[in-house]
Amino acid sequence: MSTENRGKTYTVERGATKLRAGQGLGTGLGVVIKHFADAFTKKLDSPEKTSGVFTVQYPEERLPLAEAYRNFPILLYDDASGQELCTSCFQCQRICPPQVIHMAQAKDPATGKAIPAVSAFVIEYDACMSCGLCAEVCPFDAIKMDQEFELSTDYHSGLTVDKTDLNRPISFYEKLAPTFWGEVKDGALKKLQANIKRRPGELGIAPQMLGKVPTNPETAPLELRTTT
């Protein structure tokens, strides 16, 4: 400060508002009180409605997850027919960056020819990076991303998951992601119907649905078919 300005009184303006003594303190205190009050009005039914700064008492309390939230892949089967949507086209296996998807295509035991169904499907969850590329590339909407994240285990091999544990009914995914499934549902079910016609007997039926659904009515049971 130059010597000629010494002793003068200055008023500091913050924006267009002149603050009186103590006014800034009052404003800051107001913010603190608002956050304090918000902490007692937390709502856990929707992320959009949630406001304020508070602690979620996990695992007793949980914030709902957004539809687009993804963790690890699962495979879908049709609730009514028990038929898996996967045709073993290998596209997800090819695109998976860490190469953690492994599968084998089913074969018609009567002819030895490959059919659009999968006989074995394994994903190594411990090395999956949840990128979702497998689900994006699948032309049959057979593989989707689940939201389950509590998968810790005390044995490493428990994270190598086979078809029996990967399989979920379509109704499960429809509840999880109603918008996403609604966008692809008609096309996916149409393709499934076309593929079922090429699956003899029990081939293509999810392991957990065997014995609960009739075998493919459009093809003869395996024991009645003749080798051509």
- Is 74 a binding residue for ligand SF4 by CB under 6 A? The answer is no
- Is 96 a binding residue for ligand SF4 by CB under 6 A? The answer is yes
* Cis ω before 139 (30° cut-off from 0): no
Smallest distance from ligand SF4 to CB 102, Å: 10
- Is 86 a binding residue for ligand SF4 by CB under 6 A? The answer is yes
- Is 196 a binding residue for ligand SF4 by CB under 6 A? The answer is no
Residue 176: CB atoms within 10 A of its CB come to 19
Please choose, from the candidates 119, 108, 116, 105, the residue with its C-alpha nearest in 3D space to the C-alpha of residue 227: 108
List the structure tokens of 42.
């937390």
Torsion of CA 42, 43, 47, 52, to 10 degrees: -20
* φ/ψ bin of 88: left (φ > 0), alpha (ψ from -120 to 50), beta (otherwise): left
Please choose, from the candidates 72, 89, 84, 80, the residue with its C-alpha nearest in 3D space to the C-alpha of residue 158: 72
Query: Candidates 43-51, 92-100, 169-177, 185-193 — which segment interacts with ligand SF4 by CB under 6 A?
Result: 92-100
- Is 89 a binding residue for ligand SF4 by CB under 6 A? The answer is yes
Contact between residue 98 and residue 127 where contact means Cβ atoms under 8 Å apart: yes
- Is 106 a binding residue for ligand SF4 by CB under 6 A? The answer is no
Q: Which residue among 44, 64, 91, 184 contacts ligand SF4 (CB under 6 A)?
A: 91
**Count of residues touching ligand SF4 (by CB under 6 A):** 26
3-class state of residue 167 by DSSP: strand
Q: Which residue among 100, 115, 188, 205 contacts ligand SF4 (CB under 6 A)?
A: 100
Shorter beta-carbon distance to ligand SF4: residue 116 or 200: 116
Of residues 126 through 155, those in contact with ligand SF4 by CB under 6 A are: 128-134, 137-138, 140, 142-143
Catalog residues that contact ligand SF4 under the rule CB under 6 A: 73, 86-92, 96-98, 100-101, 123, 128-134, 137-138, 140, 142-143
